[in-house]
Structure 1
Amino acid sequence: MIFTDSIAVSGVRRTEDGYLVAEARVARTGIQDYLGTEIDPENEHGLRDKPIVRVYRPESAVFHADAMHSYAYRPMTNGHPGGDGVNSKNWKDVAIGSTGGEVVRDGQFVKVPLVLMDAKAIEDYESGKRELSMGYGAEVVFQDGVSPDGEAFDCFLGPMKMNHLSLEHRARGGEHLRIGDGKPNTPTGGHDMADALRKLLVDGISIDVTEQGAQAIEKLNTKLADATTATKTLTDAHATAIALKDGELAKKDAEIDALKAKQLSDADIDKRVTARADLLTKAKTIADADYTGKTDAEIRKAVVIAKLGDAAVAGKADAYIDARFEILVEDAAKNPANDPFRQHMIHQDGKPGENPADVARAKMLADLNSTQPAK
């Protein structure tokens, strides 16, 4: 976590190059006021919803040897960069100067030299943007108590590690942590609240929040946006899956309808059987042959060939062959003698002694005679 704090500056002067150099108090001991969302954003210690969290910085945090080393050669920024502060990836974009290496203790403060090198930042300083806010990291010990000065606190810090120094309109540390002269206005409500307040649009409403408060809100907004995106992704995936399934079901329904259309009703079957029997009868009337396994078209062609020869169908279309077959059927109907069944019955009836009744009577008498004993 990157904390911020306010600082004052003295001994301001301009160099021949136009830079602004000064000395500044960059840190102090004592109690600082923070928002609950800054100190305990996940509410792991029950402080997130507390309006003001009092954080104590003992001398062991401010003047620790590692802390003192970290105040030197830190980048300066024109406003806190947010996130994890300044690093090698964003230094070129946000740095406007730096602190020097002569770090000293000044009573309850830490004083360092600094230089502003960016023209816009120097212009902002000359327009009244005089306070400094230190961005630093430190371990937060969530244990309340009372400082040596008798002030109650909610938690305290371990050794501090400075990350950057920001030029601000109003900072957390109070009037002592400033560049140059002039006393800032103390925020209303009795608290020296953090850094320059930022305007943030939350759900369509413009609010003023501290830098770290803004970071907490932006973090929550990012999580909300991510959740919204994830929900939309799942919803779209579900809709796509449903659409695919609907498509598969529609395809199956179409296949079922096609199969149903191919199925023959009892009436259709009767019609086809009758038509087949009629065709076979006509074919046998013209040319009595075995037509088993042949299609209707093959039967007609076979009949035409049987009556007229192969030349009659060579190179001819099915429609021509069908027409020739129908002509043969018509010719056969004009001459009943051409009916094979009729001729068969006439032939059978014409055989002497082969009347079925006579044959049966003769057989019966023969059987009776064979059973009589000889005289």
Structure 2
Amino acid sequence: MPKQNNTSSLTPGVEDAVAKFIQHSRDNAAGKATASPFTDANPLQLPTAADVEYFVQAMDAEAARIDAEAIELRKRRLAEIAAKDAQIASLNRNIEAATARYNDQEAEIERRASLRGKVIETARKIAPKLDTSNLSEDAIRREVVQGRFGADAVAGKTQAYIDCRFDFLADEANADPFAALVKDGIATGINDGKAQADRAYADMVSGLTNGWKATTH
């Protein structure tokens, strides 16, 4: 209720009437009022200037209260929205992290599948009869090296050593035969045959030219 320096100047019952009027306004705003006691037939009575001033002050106080409640409600709503936004952002981060982990796992699966495929392909070139279906990549390398060099080649050896021996065999198996052939040049025999013919011709000419010298001595 508004501050009134001298309520004794008010018409008796005005304070209660104004309080009921304001409460009725609140109920109407909240949808609670079922009947209006302040109809045209029964209006709020403010007989004196003091009554009017009191009513104006009461309505100003009520408006200030409503404004304060609206501001507080807005703050709460904004806080709720911020909390929801933070929750959504957290969910999005979790989804992004899960997606990244899934993509990493997929990439790792593809990498391992590709590696296994290459190991099996190389192993079949070196040891065509080796059954690789139930062997890991390390086991495949071990079996290949053992099959080529014997059990002593893998007994007590580290996997790194076995991998190195396998890679050596892989280089041999994957070597380009034509590249190995031309590495030091291809000997076709054509030039050698020509050289032999040239030498034979030169020997014949020399024999015809110098043969008489041997008979004159």
TM bracket (short chain): 0.3 to 0.5
Higher relative contact order (CA 8 A, sep 6+): 1
Structure in which a larger fraction of residues adopt strand: 1
- TM-score, scaled to structure 2: 0.47
